[in-house]
Amino acid sequence: MNHEMKNTLEEIKRENSALKGKCTNYETALQGLQERLDSNLETGKEMSKRKLDEWKKIWIKEREEEKVNFAEVVKQQIEEKTKDTVIQVIKEKEELMRDTVDKKKCMVIYELEEKKNPVKIMREKEEKEMVKEIISVVQDKEQS
C-alpha cells in the first residue's frame, strides 16, 4: 500500500506541476487580455465621448430648428386668427361697412374733404365751424 500511495503521490505531484505551468500560462494570458481590455475601454471612452458630443450637437441643432418651426407656426396661426376675426367682424357689421362706403361716396359727390384730426377737441371744433359755415351758406341762399 505504501508503494501504491507513493506512486499516486508522485503522479499527483507531476499533474500538479503540469497544472501549475498551465495556470501560470493562463494567468499571463489573462493579464495580457485584461491590459488589452483596459486600453480598449479607455479608447472606447474617448470614442464614446466624441460620439456623445456629436449626438449632442445634432440634438441641439434639431431643437433649434424645432423652435424656429414652432415660432413660424405660432406666427402663422396668429395671422390666420386675426384674418378670421376681421372677416367675422365684417360679416357681422355689414351695415357699418355700408355706412362707411356711403360716407366716402358722399364726400366724393359733394366734394367735401374728410380731415382726420387725432385730437378730439380740435376735431370737434373744426366740425362745428364747418357745420356753421354750411348752415350760413344754405340760409343765405334761401334768403336770396
Please give the full DSSP string across 11-75, using - where no structure is assigned: HHHHHHHHHHHHHHHHHHHHHHHHHHHHHHHHHHHHHHHHHHHHHHHHHHHHHHHHHHHHHHHHH
Q: Residue 116 has what pLDDT?
A: 64
Radius of gyration of the chain (CA): 50
Q: Is the pLDDT of residue 99 over 70?
A: no
Residue the block writes with cell 465621448: 49
- Cα gap 29→128, rounded to integer Å: 111
- Cα gap 82→79, rounded to integer Å: 5
CA distances from 51 to 12, 35, 42, 43, 133 (A): 55, 24, 14, 12, 85
pLDDT in tens, 101-132: 555 555 444 455 555 666 778 878 887 888 78
At position 22, the amino acid (one-letter code) is K
Q: Residue 144 has what pLDDT?
A: 64
Q: Is the pLDDT of residue 9 over 80?
A: yes
Phi and psi dihedrals of 118, rounded to 5? -70, -20
Phi and psi dihedrals of 113, rounded to 5? -100, 140
Note the pTM of the prediction, 2 decimals. Answer: 0.29
